């Protein structure tokens, strides 16, 4: 009999709909020479990775930014919604028991009812207990519950990603502020040198050893440098305002943000097992993997819809409609009960189930394609920052050498100008070279810190508490 029922249910079929996508194995993605060259036995970056720079103010700003942040609150609300949906899905795997009762004083019409009870006013009471349980022979309810739990894991990963984005935004803005202060120092040092050259030129002009042209040439860059200092100070103030906004404070809070004291000797290293660790700990990758799992469970639930559904049902009750007093319904002769099964059989539904199955398969294809895209983007993000850090390490060495040479050239030119051996043009040229070398080194330092911050973000900012479903077969 059961075989006949299953055969009849085939009248509403899947119409040959199958998934089109294949899940990408992150462990088999070729990391590339740049990433392999950077592999060391470093520890995985943990929560608070920015604390390696040893700046308490940065630690405080990051903590303020993630406290009560609207983006985090939105992600938390979505996680709460997913947990609520999982509870609803879990209820479908359990029996349902309900009770109801009615108690009324009823007058029966003498013209419409025989006597008794016609013409009498009596108690009309009843109580009933109902029981129902879906046998879930094809696993639809279980698949729905498992998919809901996967969605909870995905939402938890989304919450972690929102936190990581906010943390990284604060860190990068703080790095930019540090670089602006370095440029401010260079500009002030340049102004002091320019003022010193002008004082020497003015003294030489008074004794007839310098011309009016040289005096004008010495005065010209001073105003330009002061303007550059004002521009840098504007950028500092704007970045402080940005940090104040990121931590949820008003403009007044920006005045309390002091100069950063970041360390520049932070080691650059990657986990020894980059592919597995990357796929296992990046919040966006973990989130998308859980969504693949949820979509796979959705296909199982949609497929179960093509088979008959069988529920066990039972009820028991007590009732008295016309005879006896208020408690008459509680007597042994007032009882009734029933027990049986309810069967629903899909024969023809106009393609509704096939359409729902097609949607479930499309959702799976979309989830897999998004996961694959996220994994490839993750590897690219790590590789990009590794390449940048390797290049910046070389740039830093060369910039330091260039600065040392520029400083020596300027010192020689300045001493020569003081003694009258060289002219002002030589001083001006070497000073410009020195300023360019100082700015280049400051920008390289800032870029290196920023690239390292982006690398930490690309690596997921540390290991989460939930492992990815790597051991679970995501195939529908």
Place 283 in a pLDDT band, splitting at 50, 70 and 90.
confident
**What's the mean per-residue pLDDT of the chain?**
80
Instruction: Judge whether 435 and 126 are in contact, CB under 8 Å.
Output: no
> What pLDDT score does 23 carry?
59
Q: Is the pLDDT of residue 40 over 50?
A: no
Distance CA 461, CA 48 (A): 8
Write out the CATH class of domain 95-135+309-344: mainly beta
Mean pLDDT of 218-244: 92
- Top mean pLDDT of 9-13, 28-32, 47-51, 153-157 is at 153-157
Structural tokens at position 360: 């479930």
Distance CA 91, CA 20 (A): 33
> What pLDDT score does 280 carry?
62
Region(s) of the chain under CATH 2.20.200: 95-135+309-344
> What pLDDT score does 20 carry?
62
> What pLDDT score does 260 carry?
92
Instruction: Judge whether 260 and 170 are in contact, CB under 8 Å.
Output: no
> What pLDDT score does 53 carry?
82
- Top mean pLDDT of 278-287, 319-328, 426-435 is at 426-435
Mean pLDDT of 380-404: 87
Region(s) of the chain under CATH 1.20.1600.10: 11-93+151-306+347-458
Place 236 in a pLDDT band, splitting at 50, 70 and 90.
very high
Mean pLDDT of 228-250: 92
Mean pLDDT of 26-34: 47
Place 12 in a pLDDT band, splitting at 50, 70 and 90.
low
Q: Is the pLDDT of residue 146 over 70?
A: yes
Instruction: Judge whether 333 and 152 are in contact, CB under 8 Å.
Output: no
Q: Is the pLDDT higher at 354 or at 271?
A: 354
Q: Is the pLDDT of residue 8 over 50?
A: no
Look up tokens 């405080």; give the residue: 60
Place 170 in a pLDDT band, splitting at 50, 70 and 90.
very high
Distance CA 169, CA 38 (A): 25
> What pLDDT score does 423 carry?
76
Q: Which of 288, 243, 241, 248 is nearest to 72 (CA)?
A: 248
> What pLDDT score does 32 carry?
46
| pTM, rounded to two decimals | 0.78
The interaxial angle of helices 56-65 and 212-246, nearest 10 deg, is 50
Q: Is the pLDDT higher at 8 or at 58?
A: 58
Instruction: Judge whether 194 and 100 are in contact, CB under 8 Å.
Output: no
- Top mean pLDDT of 3-12, 17-26, 229-238 is at 229-238
What's the CATH number for 11-93+151-306+347-458? Answer: 1.20.1600.10
Mean pLDDT of 249-263: 84
> What pLDDT score does 331 carry?
65
- Give CA angle at 446 (445, 447), nearest 5°: 95
Q: Is the pLDDT of residue 230 over 90?
A: yes
The tens digit of pLDDT for each residue in 422-443 reads 777 787 788 888 888 988 988 8
> What pLDDT score does 322 carry?
58
The tens digit of pLDDT for each residue in 48-96 reads 888 878 889 999 999 999 887 888 889 989 999 999 998 998 888 899 9
> What pLDDT score does 125 carry?
80
């Amino acid at each position: 009999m059961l075989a006949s029922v299953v055969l009849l249910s085939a009248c509403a079929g899947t119409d040959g709909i199958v998934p089109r996508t294949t899940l990408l194995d992150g462990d088999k993605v070729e990391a590339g020479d740049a990433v392999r060259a950077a592999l060391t036995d470093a520890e995985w970056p943990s929560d608070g990775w920015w604390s390696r720079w040893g700046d308490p103010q940065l630690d405080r700003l990051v903590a303020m930014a993630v406290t009560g942040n609207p983006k985090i609150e939105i992600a938390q609300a979505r996680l709460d919604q997913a947990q609520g949906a999982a509870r609803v899905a879990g209820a479908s795997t359990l029996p349902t028991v309900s009770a109801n009762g009615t108690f009324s004083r009823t007058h029966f019409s003498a013209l419409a009812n025989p006597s008794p009870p016609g013409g009498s006013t009596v108690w009309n009471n009843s109580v009933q207990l109902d029981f129902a349980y879906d046998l879930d022979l094809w696993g639809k309810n279980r698949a729905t519950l498992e998919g809901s739990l996967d969605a909870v894991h995905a939402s938890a990963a989304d919450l972690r990603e929102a936190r990581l984005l906010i943390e990284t935004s604060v860190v990068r803005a703080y790095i930019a502020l540090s670089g602006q202060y370095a440029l401010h120092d260079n500009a002030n040092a340049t102004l002091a040198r320019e003022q010193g050259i002008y004082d020497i030129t003015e003294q030489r002009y008074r004794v007839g050893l310098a011309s009016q042209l040289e005096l004008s040439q010495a005065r010209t860059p001073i105003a330009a440098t002061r303007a550059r200092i004002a521009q840098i100070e504007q950028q500092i103030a704007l970045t402080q305002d940005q940090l104040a906004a990121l931590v949820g404070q008003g403009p007044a809070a920006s005045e309390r943000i002091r100069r950063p004291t970041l360390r520049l000797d932070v080691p650059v290293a990657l986990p020894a097992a980059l592919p597995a660790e990357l796929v296992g700990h990046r919040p966006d990758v973990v989130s998308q993997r859980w969504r693949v799992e949820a979509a796979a469970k959705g296909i199982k639930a949609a497929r179960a819809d093509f088979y008959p559904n069988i529920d066990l049902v039972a009820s028991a009750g007590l009732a008295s409609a016309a005879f006896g007093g208020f408690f008459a319904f509680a007597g042994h002769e007032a009882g009734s009960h029933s027990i049986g099964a309810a069967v629903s059989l899909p024969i023809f539904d106009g393609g509704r189930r096939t359409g729902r199955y097609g949607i479930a398969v499309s959702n799976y294809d979309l989830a897999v394609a998004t996961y694959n895209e996220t994994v490839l983007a993750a590897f690219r993000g790590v590789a990009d920052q590794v390449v940048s850090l390797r290049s910046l390490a070389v740039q830093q060495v060369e910039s330091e050498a260039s600065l040392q040479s520029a400083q020596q050239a300027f010192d020689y030119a300045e001493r020569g100008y003081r003694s009258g051996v060289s002219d002002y043009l030589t001083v001006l040229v070497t000073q410009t070279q020195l300023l360019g070398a100082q700015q280049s080194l400051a920008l390289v330092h800032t870029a290196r810190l920023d690239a390292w911050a982006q690398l930490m973000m690309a690596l997921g900012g540390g290991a989460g508490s939930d492992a990815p479903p790597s051991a679970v077969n995501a195939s529908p």
